[in-house]
A = this chain, B = another copy of it.
Amino acid sequence: MFLAKITVKFKKGVKNPEAQTLETLLARLGENNVQEVVCSKNYELVLAAFDSKEASCKANDIANKVLANPIIEDYEVQICELL
């Protein structure tokens, strides 16, 4: 069994409405020390696979097809073996 950690975030240059709203909100709340906000999503999948290569292949496939929109988002995949 493998644990695939997939992080999905907007590509550089793509406007992120959630981060912009948070920046505005924090400024309104008086938190003037916050200079920049970046938001991303994490998915942890427990996968059955023969080896880490197969797990990585499956996780990349799922990230590309289901979790991320490759036009505006990037993703990173990390694989750890569950013992």
Contact = CB atoms under 8 A, between A and B. Distances in A.
A38 interface: yes
A72 interface: no
17 contacts: A22-B67, A29-B65, A29-B66, A33-B58, A34-B45, A34-B47, A35-B47, A36-B44, A36-B45, A37-B43, A37-B46, A39-B42, A39-B43, A39-B44, A40-B41, A40-B44, A42-B42
Given A7-B42, A35-B48, 15 more contacts: A1-B35, A25-B66, A26-B62, A29-B66, A31-B62, A33-B48, A34-B46, A38-B43, A38-B44, A39-B41, A39-B44, A40-B41, A40-B44, A41-B42, A42-B42
